[in-house]
Amino acid sequence: MIYRAILDTFYLTDEQLHNSPSRKDGIDEATETMLRIYGSELIQESGILLKLPQAVIATGQVLFHRFYCKKSFAGFNVKKVAASCLWLASKLEEECPKKARQVIIVFHRMECRRENKLPIEPLDLNSKKYSDLKMELSRGERHILKEMGFVCHVEHPHKFISNYLATLGTPTLRELTQEAWNLANDSLRTTLCVRFKSEVVACGVVYAAARRFRVPLPENPPWWKAFDAEKSGIDQVCRVLAHLYSLPKANYIPVCKDGGDSSFTNKSWNSISQPIPKENSPSAIEQGEGGEGGERHRQIQKHDRSYRSKDRAAKD
């Protein structure tokens, strides 16, 4: 019960969303909505390329929306936050953690594709650009964990959909389930995950799917009462989804301000690839070169070899 009370702090009112940090920095509602959709789609597409389960992708999208309920798009670059959210989400699932290298390469490719930078040039893993991106990926993860208070548990509406439809005894169960599942995936491009509990979102997508297939749902007594939901919340979920489908394709809008200790600078995303000096290169450190860095490496290797090997394998 205490843990659920902590989770409830991530649910915001409409007034709180209208007074978001981005809005206070002068970003209008349309731009904020576009950037939320852009970041969510970036996580979805990159997660597919990384062959991550949908649950991991959904967790990354929820973390993304939660983060921007506390921080502004003007202070944190949407592309880098999206990458950090997906990387963190992959770690929350024990069976599918991804290396930093894999996440960076995929997001680099996605950026090139979205901005029509063809042909796509491979990212040099020995370049300064890659080194900067890897550092900022880790820094972004730390910012997210700090803002979340290290409470990263996420409950998705997907797990309720099949049970709800089975309980209601609806016909054409397979088609309804697939449609409701698709709507639940689309809802993660909006702020529904920070406005309503997952049970309410599940009821909303079930209702929308039933309306599309013209499947009647019990109204006497109201079916949503059995699932701890209100009709007003279900209607709001449907309105938000309908508005989402009326919007044009989301594009990147550069609103992040350069400079500042609290921002992910745009410099490394657009910098020219430069080779890392030999004394600071990974191979030089591994071979014990590079002055103090090499000495530190030899000490770590002497006293804690097994731990370092495991940690390095997770971060490469």
Tell me the longest C-alpha to C-alpha distance in the chain. Answer: 78
Q: Does the residue 168 lie in any domain?
A: yes
Indicate if 98 and 119 belong to the same structural domain: yes
Q: Which long-range contacts (CB under 8 A, 24 or more apart) does 47-55 make?
A: 47/86, 49/106, 49/109, 49/110, 50/86, 50/90, 50/98, 50/102, 50/103, 50/106, 52/86, 52/89, 52/90, 52/96, 52/98, 53/93, 53/96, 54/158, 54/185, 55/93, 55/156, 55/158
What residues form DSSP beta bridges with 275? 127
Q: Does the residue 254 lie in any domain?
A: no
Indicate if 96 and 197 belong to the same structural domain: no
Indicate if 39 and 109 belong to the same structural domain: yes
Indicate if 187 and 309 belong to the same structural domain: no
Per-residue pLDDT, 118: 66
φ/ψ of 254, rounded to 5, equals -75, 100
Indicate if 238 and 110 belong to the same structural domain: no
Domain-terminating residue out of 148, 167, 193: 148
Q: Does the residue 272 lie in any domain?
A: no
Helix (H) or strand (E) holding 45: helix 29-49
Q: Does the residue 71 lie in any domain?
A: yes
Structural domain containing residue 100: 2-148
Please name the residues in contact with 218: beta carbons below 8 A apart, sequence gap of 6 or more. Answer: 168
Per-residue pLDDT, 110: 85
Indicate if 164 and 299 belong to the same structural domain: no
- Whether the CB-CB separation of 80 and 140 falls below 8 Å is answered with yes
Indicate if 96 and 200 belong to the same structural domain: no
Indicate if 163 and 216 belong to the same structural domain: yes
Per-residue pLDDT, 290: 41
Indicate if 9 and 130 belong to the same structural domain: yes
- Whether the CB-CB separation of 277 and 236 falls below 8 Å is answered with no
The domain tally of the chain equals 3
pLDDT (tens digit, 9 = 90+) per residue, 170-227? 776 788 889 999 999 999 999 999 999 999 999 999 999 999 988 888 888 889 988 9
Domain-terminating residue out of 148, 170, 197: 148
Would the pTM count as exceeding 0.85? no
Per-residue pLDDT of the chain (316 residues; tens, 9 = 90+): 444 445 555 788 888 889 999 999 999 999 999 999 999 999 999 999 999 999 999 999 999 999 999 999 999 999 999 999 999 999 987 677 889 999 999 998 888 887 776 677 788 888 898 999 999 999 999 999 999 888 888 889 998 998 898 888 777 678 888 999 999 999 999 999 999 999 999 999 999 999 998 888 888 888 998 898 999 999 999 999 999 999 999 989 899 885 433 333 344 444 333 443 444 443 333 333 344 444 444 443 444 444 444 444 444 5
Determine what percent of the chain is predicted with pLDDT higher than 90. 50
